[in-house]
Amino acid sequence: MSNFYLNRRALLGLALTSALPVGSVWAAGQPLPVVASFSILQDLTRQVGGDLVSVSPLVGPDGDAHVFEPTPQQARQLQQAKVLVSNGLDFESWMPRLKKAAGFKGQEIVASQGIAVRALPKGQGHDHGHDHGADKAGHDHDHDHDHGHGHNHGPNDPHAWQDVKNAIIYVRNIAKGLATADPANAAQYDKQATQYIARLTALDASLRQRFAAVPAARRTVVSTHDAFGYFAQAYGLRFVPVRGLSTESEPSARDMAALVKQVREERIGAIFLENISDPRLLEQLSRETGAAIGGRLYSDALSPAGGPASTYIDMVEANAATLLKALQAG
Ligand SMILES: [Zn+2]
């Protein structure tokens, strides 16, 4: 029996036996209890909420939300929360099951609401046998790529936070949702969001300026999974992912051979590892092609506190610095 079924049974058990009344734990004057699906949303929510909120992530620093399996303890945590912040776009495919198990009745904020969803270019990095994207856009995506984790991915690219302009939309949605859940502090959420958005706007402008200086011939890089589509679109780079949209799929020997050929033919200079993924595939690709490992990018999770990417802004700055250093070196 797989972990999925064990966890599912545990979650269902929790839902049946728990006697905790929903919403009973938030006393006036206490920070608003918020659960964020992953570490990047935890930071965005903290930036908007400040001391008025207490935000716990379900998937923590360096964690991989694509293959996450919630525990009964996390269902209990969600049950006690007043607000849930999720990404949406099918990123958290395990969320409906968790919400049901927790009997969550609080305010839900889907942070990506209103962004321009990235259309998946057909055949670009998604033509593996086990991909989750382009070929299935608009079609049934429920039958052939469930790899035992009990979830599937839709046709949308969920990694919208990698474009700083989208993060600004996330922040607006979070501020609005927090104000709805805690109307007494609405003005403070609005003020903190406005201040944070000013920093994000400056960051976005700075990225545009710095990446514009990279020569066109040096703008293609290899990464582990297809997490940087929005980043590439916003800042004029091209990422070739070894895996598809999710970290679940493994490239076949044929995929790898095609990739080796592509890296050589297009003279792709740099390969980037990820904080949430096993580096071995890309180390192999580097050995076979002579393309340098350009460093480690933060894709779907922050670093732990004290690391180089423990906030969203630090994460974007760290990724930009790693990319620019490698792209300008050649
Ligand atoms: Zn991802």
For residue 234, name the pLDDT band (cuts at 50, 70, 90): very high
Is 60 exceeded by the pLDDT of residue 292?
yes
CA of 157 to the centre of ligand 1 (A): 9
The 3-class SS string of the chain reads CCHHHHHHHHHHHHHHHCCCCCCCCCCCCCCEEEEEEEHHHHHHHHHHHHHHEEEEEEECCCCCHHHCCCCHHHHHHHHHCCEEEECCCCCCCCHHHHHHHHCCCCEEEECCCCCCCCCCCCCCCCCCCCCCCHHHCCCCCCCCCCCCCCCCCCCCCCCHHHCHHHHHHHHHHHHHHHHHHCHHHHHHHHHHHHHHHHHHHHHHHHHHHHHHCCCHHHCEEEECCCCCHHHHHHHCCEEEECCCCCCCCCCCHHHHHHHHHHHHHCCCCEEEEECCCCCHHHHHHHHHHCCEEEEEECCCCCCCCCCCCCCHHHHHHHHHHHHHHHHHHC
User: What phi and psi values does residue 201 have, to the nearest 5 degrees?
Assistant: -65, -40
Among 146-160, 192-206, 258-272, 275-289, the least confident range: 146-160
CA of 227 to the centre of ligand 1 (A): 5
- In this prediction, residue 154 carries a pLDDT of 55
Is 90 exceeded by the pLDDT of residue 151?
no
Q: What would the two tokens of residue 215 be?
A: 């020569």
Is 50 exceeded by the pLDDT of residue 135?
no
Q: What percent of the chain has pLDDT over 70?
A: 82
Among 195-199, 234-238, 263-267, the least confident range: 263-267
- In this prediction, residue 167 carries a pLDDT of 98
pLDDT, tens digit, 9 for 90 and up, residues 88-113:
999 999 999 999 999 999 999 999 99
CA of 16 to the centre of ligand 1 (A): 33
Is 90 exceeded by the pLDDT of residue 225?
no
HSE on the CB side for 72, CA within 13 Å?
A: 15
Alpha carbons 190 and 179: distance in angstroms, whole number: 8
pTM: 0.84
- Greatest Cα pair distance in the chain: 63
83-86 and 238-241 beta bridge pairing: unpaired
CA of 232 to the centre of ligand 1 (A): 14
CA of 37 to the centre of ligand 1 (A): 13
Between 233 and 11, the more confident residue is: 233
- In this prediction, residue 217 carries a pLDDT of 87
CA of 229 to the centre of ligand 1 (A): 10
Mean pLDDT of the chain, nearest integer? 85
Is 90 exceeded by the pLDDT of residue 85?
yes
Mean pLDDT to the nearest integer, 14-21: 46
CA of 281 to the centre of ligand 1 (A): 16
Q: What percent of the chain has pLDDT over 90?
A: 68
- In this prediction, residue 244 carries a pLDDT of 76
Is 50 exceeded by the pLDDT of residue 275?
yes
User: What phi and psi values does residue 86 have, to the nearest 5 degrees?
Assistant: -125, 165
- CA 305 to chain CA mean position, Å: 18
Q: In the block, which residue shows the tokens 């002579």?
A: 290
CA of 58 to the centre of ligand 1 (A): 15
- In this prediction, residue 246 carries a pLDDT of 77
For residue 143, name the pLDDT band (cuts at 50, 70, 90): very low
For residue 63, name the pLDDT band (cuts at 50, 70, 90): very high
CA of 325 to the centre of ligand 1 (A): 23
For residue 123, name the pLDDT band (cuts at 50, 70, 90): very low
Cβ atoms of 191 and 50 closer than 8 Å: no
For residue 138, name the pLDDT band (cuts at 50, 70, 90): very low
- In this prediction, residue 124 carries a pLDDT of 41
CA of 84 to the centre of ligand 1 (A): 20
